Amino acid sequence: MTARIGVVTFPGSLDDRDTQRAIRLAGAEPVALWHKDKDLKQVDAVVLCGGFSYGDYLRAGAIARFSPVMEPVVEQAKAGLPVLGICNGFQILTEAHLLPGAMLGNDHLHFICRDQKLRVENAETSWTGDYRAGQEIHIPLKNMDGRYVADEYTLDQLEAEGRVAFRYLDHNPNGSLRDIAGITNEAGNVVGLMPHPEHAVEPLIGSGRTDGLPFFTSILKKLVNA
């Protein structure tokens, strides 16, 4: 049976179709989910894609967190459903308290769009199993509110528990504390990442790299072997 991965579209989402394509390339079936849906259509995993949900009014992800679809997402994520939040999706996961910390405006106050070098810190989550710890990859980054912040206790806890999933290398593009580009929850089923792996899945388009494809093959293997 083919794994079914839901992709949530909010008003202002930009990367839902790209994410669906990445899922399809990995060999799974993408399932479109609308922000007003309260039924997740029995998907095996969910991706909250990038964009500017609700125009980033109030703050990025703050309104989307209260969309009807988030009620079952939060409930099922706490029960073990794999959930990946990319860029705006990462912001939504912090607003929904599925991941700790918060996302603030870039320290230089400008939108940034670049190919970003990362180091994989945790290759044992549901979404990172096809990487290896310490692996260096390049993933496109595009954000205005990408600065990850948390109190020192939370940051120390994330470090001690190995829950920093990805870290910026060579250059910190947005002022994120401790160069954090992505984190995971304690169970490893919920991952948030600021760069966009769905834009690095085919050699002929996007960044010209395929460094982002393992996100989607990782979850497929996790679901198949569950």
pTM: 0.95
Backbone angles phi, psi at 6, to 5 degrees: -80, 140
198 is catalytic: yes
Catalytic residue among 87, 95, 121, 199: 87
Confidence of residue 134 (pLDDT cuts 50, 70, 90): very high
121 is catalytic: no
Cα gap 41→131, rounded to integer Å: 29
108 is catalytic: no
Nearest CA to 65 out of 35, 34, 44 is that of 35
Catalytic residue among 35, 49, 95, 196: 196
The sheet with strand 180-184 has its strands ordered as: 29-34, 4-9, 45-48, 83-86, 190-193, 180-184, 164-168, 112-120, 136-143
Catalytic residue among 35, 95, 121, 198: 198
Cα gap 178→172, rounded to integer Å: 9
Per-residue pLDDT reduced to its tens digit, 8-63: 999 999 999 999 999 999 999 999 999 999 999 999 999 999 999 998 888 889 99
